């Protein structure tokens, strides 16, 4: 039986399902985190063989000592982390305990966007023109070199937090004060095009499963406009001509970065002239319940298949996309508590059989800060085998379903 240490098994939201996947794949799962045992979700507690609470996951020496004390006599076969902030910690723990997997040098290429793009540049993969900057003066120098419009983002960020499109010098002056808390930023060429994901479960450096999702609109646009209901559409037909160069690039990126076994989440662009450009990649799954989307695309247990890859070096045969699956994230109008939901009953009557999940906040719930979470005030997930129909249904949810708060 394989012993697997999982960092932060109870957080973020889908970590309990990954914990379950490992346990059902036959692993003894040891969890380590900075939450008390009784604060973990019941599913996590049921699936763990043991749990090592620590004061802080970011005190590396204390985490190592706590693990040495609790695991005395128990060998570890794998150390896994599926949460962006813990990727480098997991790599350091692997090196300390002599466990195979992503090492510190490799992990830094996934966490540091400048190192990431330098490695891909060396492999001949098209990335946005880019420079790292640690000061205001360096940002201005990078902007002069790259030219406007450009993108500013944290070197080690996740998602589109603290990410800005800047079109000229006046906008750059306005944005720079908002980045004072970011020690190092990546200054990049702005690539105008459609934005997609390339998500993989990889085994021994071989991509055993992949998923492509389409952002409608691009995350930076959605994050800048509160009225938008962002959509992420996982695609059924992966043979579509417009996807082929992106798929080819995704395989090349995995090889260039030397990723071995586990989940990855890449974002890439397709310009109007057909050119594809790399965006960024994380050594972890996507967030905002996009892993659940994959489950509904292929009707399979994606969490268990990831665990099979980690513990048995394989995924099941015959995993085939059957549906397009759209997540439509809703943002209430107003502030405070949800007071009304309009349009839900009508849409349910029209196409309720295609809705597979509805997490909209109920009336009375406190509205969430849409700037801090893509999930916002909940989402509707629907699926259909035809892409045009899927998009029509998704647009109806975006335009005809409304939440109000006051």
Among residues 49, 81, 101, which one ends one of the domains? 101
* Chain segment 200-245, per-residue pLDDT in tens: 999 999 999 999 999 999 998 998 899 999 999 999 999 999 999 9
According to the model, what pLDDT value does residue 74 have?
85
% of the chain at pLDDT higher than 70: 99
According to the model, what pLDDT value does residue 200 have?
98
CATH code of residue 297: 3.30.470.20
Among residues 65, 81, 101, which one ends one of the domains? 101
Q: 77 and 179 share a domain?
A: no
According to the model, what pLDDT value does residue 159 have?
60
* Chain segment 81-109, per-residue pLDDT in tens: 999 999 999 999 999 999 999 999 999 99
According to the model, what pLDDT value does residue 158 have?
64
Q: 317 and 199 share a domain?
A: yes
User: Is residue 272 assigned to a domain?
Assistant: yes
H or E element, residue 67? helix 60-70
How many independent structural domains does the chain possess? Answer: 4
Q: 241 and 156 share a domain?
A: no
Count of alpha carbons within 13 angstroms of residue 65, beta-carbon side: 8
Q: 313 and 329 share a domain?
A: no
According to the model, what pLDDT value does residue 182 have?
87
pLDDT at 338 > cutoff 70: yes
pLDDT at 160 > cutoff 90: no
Provide DSSP, 198-255.
Answer: EEEEEETTEEEEEE-EEEES-HHHHHH-TT---EEEE-S-TT-GGGHHHHHHHHHHHH
The Cα–Cα gap between 106 and 119 comes to 10
Q: 209 and 175 share a domain?
A: no
Higher-scoring residue by pLDDT: 392, 72:
392
- Mean pLDDT to the nearest integer, 310-324: 97
User: Is residue 114 assigned to a domain?
Assistant: no
According to the model, what pLDDT value does residue 348 have?
95
- Mean pLDDT to the nearest integer, 150-163: 79
Q: 96 and 151 share a domain?
A: no
Place 383 in a pLDDT band, splitting at 50, 70 and 90: very high
The Cα–Cα gap between 285 and 143 comes to 32
Domain extent, residue 95, equals: 3-101
Mean pLDDT in the chain?
95
User: Is residue 151 assigned to a domain?
Assistant: yes
According to the model, what pLDDT value does residue 298 have?
98
User: Is residue 119 assigned to a domain?
Assistant: no
Place 293 in a pLDDT band, splitting at 50, 70 and 90: very high
Contacts 24+ apart (CB under 8 A), 39-44: 39/10, 40/9, 40/10, 41/10, 41/16, 43/16, 43/17, 43/19, 44/9, 44/10, 44/15, 44/16, 44/19
Q: 200 and 185 share a domain?
A: no
Q: 135 and 64 share a domain?
A: no
Q: 165 and 73 share a domain?
A: no
Q: 256 and 316 share a domain?
A: yes
Place 162 in a pLDDT band, splitting at 50, 70 and 90: confident
According to the model, what pLDDT value does residue 73 have?
78
């Amino acid at each position: 039986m394989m012993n697997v240490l999982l960092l932060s098994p109870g957080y973020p939201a889908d970590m309990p399902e990954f914990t379950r996947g490992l346990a059902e794949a036959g692993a003894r799962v040891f969890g380590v985190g900075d939450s008390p045992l009784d604060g973990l979700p019941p599913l996590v507690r049921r699936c763990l063989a043991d749990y090592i609470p620590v004061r802080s996951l970011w005190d590396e020496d204390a985490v190592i000592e706590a693990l040495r004390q609790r695991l005395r006599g128990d060998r570890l076969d794998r150390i896994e982390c599926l949460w962006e902030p813990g990727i480098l910690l997991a790599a350091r723990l692997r090196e300390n305990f002599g466990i195979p997997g992503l090492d510190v040098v490799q992990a830094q290429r996934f966490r540091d966007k400048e190192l990431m793009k330098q490695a891909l540049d060396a492999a001949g993969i098209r990335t946005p023109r880019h420079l790292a900057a640690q000061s205001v003066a360096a940002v201005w120098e990078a902007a002069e070199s790259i030219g406007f419009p450009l993108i500013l983002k944290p070197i080690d960020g996740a998602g589109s937090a603290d990410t800005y499109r800047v079109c000229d010098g006046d906008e750059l002056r306005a944005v720079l004060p908002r980045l004072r808390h970011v020690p190092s930023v990546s200054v990049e060429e702005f690539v105008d095009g459609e934005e997609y994901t390339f998500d993989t479960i990889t085994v021994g450096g071989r991509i055993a499963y992949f998923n492509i999702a389409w952002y409608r609109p691009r995350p930076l646009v959605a994050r800048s406009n509160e009225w938008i209901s962002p959509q992420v559409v996982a695609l059924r037909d992966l043979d579509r001509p417009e996807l082929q160069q992106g798929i080819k690039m995704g395989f090349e990126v995995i090889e260039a970065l030397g990723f071995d076994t586990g989940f990855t989440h890449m974002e890439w662009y397709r310009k109007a002239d057909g050119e594809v450009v790399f965006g960024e990649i994380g050594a972890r799954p996507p967030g905002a319940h996009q892993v659940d989307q994959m489950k509904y695309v292929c009707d399979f247990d994606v969490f268990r298949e990831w665990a099979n890859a980690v513990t048995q070096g394989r995924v099941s045969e015959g995993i085939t996309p059957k549906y397009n699956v759209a997540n439509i994230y809703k943002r209430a109008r107003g502030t405070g508590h949800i007071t009304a939901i309009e349009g839900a009953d009508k849409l349910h009557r029209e196409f309720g059989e295609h809705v597979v999940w509805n997490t909209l906040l109920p009336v009375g719930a406190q509205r969430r800060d849409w700037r801090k979470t893509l999930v916002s005030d909940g989402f509707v997930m629907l699926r259909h085998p035809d892409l045009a129909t899927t998009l029509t249904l998704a647009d109806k949810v975006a335009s005809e379903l409304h939440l109000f708060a006051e």
